[in-house]
Amino acid sequence: MIRTPLGQALSITKRPRAPLQILLNIHMDTVYPPGDPSQPVMEIEGGKLRGPGVADAKGGLAVMLTALEAFERFGSTDDLGWQVLVNPDEEIGSRGSASLLAAAAKNYHLGLLFEPALPDGALVDRRRGSGNFSIIVRGRSAHAGRDFANGRNAVLAAAQLALRLHALNESNPGVTINISAINGGSPTNVVPDLAICRLNIRTTEPQDEQRILSSVRTLVVDLNSADGISAELSGHFTSPPKILDERTARLLEAIVSCGRDLGLLLSHRPSGGASDGNKLAAAGLPNIDTLGVRGDRIHSPEEFLFTDSLVERAQLVALLLMKLAAGDIDPKPFCR
DSSP track, 133-196: EEEEEE-B-EETTTSGGG-B-HHHHHHHHHHHHHHHHHHSTT-EEEEEEEEE---TTEE--EEE
Contact 200, 93 (CB under 8 A): no
314/307 Cα distance (integer angstroms): 12
Q: What is the pLDDT of residue 336?
A: 80
Q: What is the pLDDT of residue 43?
A: 81
Give pTM, 2 decimals. Answer: 0.89
Q: What is the pLDDT of residue 36?
A: 75
Q: Which residues pair with 129 in a beta bridge?
A: 203
Write out pLDDT tens, residues 24-35: 999 999 998 877
50/301 Cα distance (integer angstroms): 9
Low-confidence ranges of the chain (pLDDT < 70): 1-2, 38
Going by CATH, does the domain composed of 129-239 fall within 3.30.70.360?
A: yes
Q: Which residues pair with 184 in a beta bridge?
A: 195
83/21 Cα distance (integer angstroms): 8
Contact 287, 336 (CB under 8 A): no
Nearest by Cα to 115 from 275, 255, 240 = 275
Burial of 55 (0-12, 13-18, 19+ CB in 10 A): buried
H helix count then E strand count, the chain: 7, 17
Strand-by-strand arrangement of the 20-27 sheet: 10-14, 80-87, 20-27, 110-113, 287-288
Q: How far is CA 73 from the centre of its chain?
A: 32
Q: Where exactly are the structural domains of the chain?
A: 10-127+242-326, 129-239
Q: What is the pLDDT of residue 1?
A: 60
Pick the CATH number of 10-127+242-326 from 3.40.50.150, 3.40.50.2300, 3.40.630.10, 2.120.10.30: 3.40.630.10
